[in-house]
Structure 1
Amino acid sequence: MGYSDQTPDGEKRVKLIERRGLNRHNNVVDAYNIAGAEYGIGLGMHDVAQLDGNIVIERASGGEEMVPLFRESHREAREGDLIYGTDDHVLWLSGQIGRDADDFRVTTDTDKALLMAVGNEETSEEYNRSVCRRAFDLISKTCSNASIEFLDVEKPVVNA
């Protein structure tokens, strides 16, 4: 992330579970928390039934806003933070904090979700997909009609 004192999101998740145990929410959220902890990677999961457009991962220009999970006030991205979302909505912010957006929280009423594994230069696309497959395997144990579809990842063209 470029912050020397930053603990990676996946490591934070593992340490939190080691300290307090798994904070239970529902079978779907619990599954992605377990998979993220097993692989030591940060995951985001969002109810996307009402979203349109492409999901874009980018560095924040600064000032992008979202209300993080379980919070009431918005947080603002700093220049250089990593964010993803659509043209209209920030779904996830990773900088000094790493949080999903509360507006797209997965609940028992969710019927379409996006599970996102944001890796780094040390993780391959296949590794990131394997984390998602693990979460899906756990989800499908209690949701027999669940299905999984991987979206194509387009890497930006960098002009040299």
Structure 2
Amino acid sequence: MNSKIIEIVWSTDVVEKFHRLSIASLTIINVKIKPRNKELDDLVKDKVEYLRERYTLERLKNEALVRAYRDFFWRMGIDPTKRRPAAEALLRRILQGKGLPRILNVVDAYNLASAETLITMSAYDLDKVEPPLIVRFAKKGEEVILIGNRRRVLTGRELVLSDQEGILCVYVHGDVERTKVTSETRNILLVAYGTPGMSVSVLMDSLKKAYEYITKCAGGQLLQVFASRTSYT
């Protein structure tokens, strides 16, 4: 059994710039990764229909959580109409009639929860993560290889989540190739990313939904829950 203890800390400059910034995580062990199954197909079909009834592309930018992530991007000097927060990008794809990307059952399940809750999340292969984790600013010129072997050079304005080996995620935008979930993954780390002022409970609710969907289609047991927030002052 994987017994890694996940803790996420904040760099001093992040704490100084972003008050009440929250992050939450949970770890699930003994999942069974598959390309897809009927139970997941039915769940995706039902939820996609629900999301298309609830939202429209024209009004999506006015949703409070979408607005919160966009405002956060602007504060980091990133144009959210060019690099969209991940949850918004997923929901936009669904509303455009393209459907939810189908990759692996665990990935599809948490992506569905992300689109439904409008909270950006990541899933990592827990066995490839080297804690402790830290939220910090990227270094100017720092390079990452995002999923799909997309190379990106960072400006230094972005927030990143890193472990002891390097960057895991460009905050609320994209995850790296190194720690992605694959068909060989057995234990996963789920992370939900907040914005300044967003409550930890909102993040925990999104993680609970992702956990529900993942265990429904891939099994697994909850190992650990973690949450943290920068100070009010």
TM-score class normalised by the smaller sequence:
0.7 to 0.9
Moved over 6 A (4+): none
Q: CA RMSD in A?
A: 2.2
Q: 1:99-152, CA deviations, whole angstroms, 9 ceiling, x for partnerless residues?
A: 110111112211121111111024211111111110000011123333242124
Read off the aligned partner of 1:84 and give its amino acid letter: L
Unaligned runs of 5+ in 2: 1-72
For structure 1, list consecutive stretches of 5 or more residues without a partner in the other structure: none
| Residue in 2 that maps onto 1:10 | 87
Which digits, 9 at most, give the CA deviation of each residue in 1:12-70, with x for residues without a partner? Answer: 22102222101111110011100100011211111120332211112223222221111
For residues 40 and 84 of structure 1, the distance between their equivalents in structure 2, rounded to whole angstroms, comes to 20
- Given the alignment, which residue of 87, 111, 116 partners 2:186? 111
Instruction: Decide whether aligned partners of structure 1 residues 53 and 144 sit closer, same or farther in structure 2, where only a CA change above 3 A counts.
Output: closer
Of 206, 211, 215 in structure 2, the residue corresponding to residue 131 of structure 1 is 206
| SS of structure 2 residue aligned to 1:103 | coil
Q: Which residue of 2 aligns with 1:142?
A: 217
Worse-matched range after superposition: 61-70 or 148-157: 148-157
Instruction: Choose 1 or 2 for highest CA Rg.
Output: 2
- Normalising by structure 2, we get a TM-score of 0.60
Identity of aligned residues (%): 25
TM-score of the two chains, using structure 1 as the length reference: 0.85
Q: Which amino acid is 1:91 matched to? A: L
| Greater strand proportion | 2
Local SS of the residue matching 2:221 = coil
Corresponding position: 1:21 with 2:99? yes
Q: Which residue of 1 aligns with 2:119?
A: 41
Q: How many residues align?
A: 155
Counterpart contact for 2:106–2:214, Cα < 8 Å = yes
Q: Which has the higher contact order (CA 8 A, sep 6+)?
A: 2
The amino acid across from 1:113 in the alignment is: I
Q: State the distance in 2 between where 1:63 and 1:54 align.
A: 24
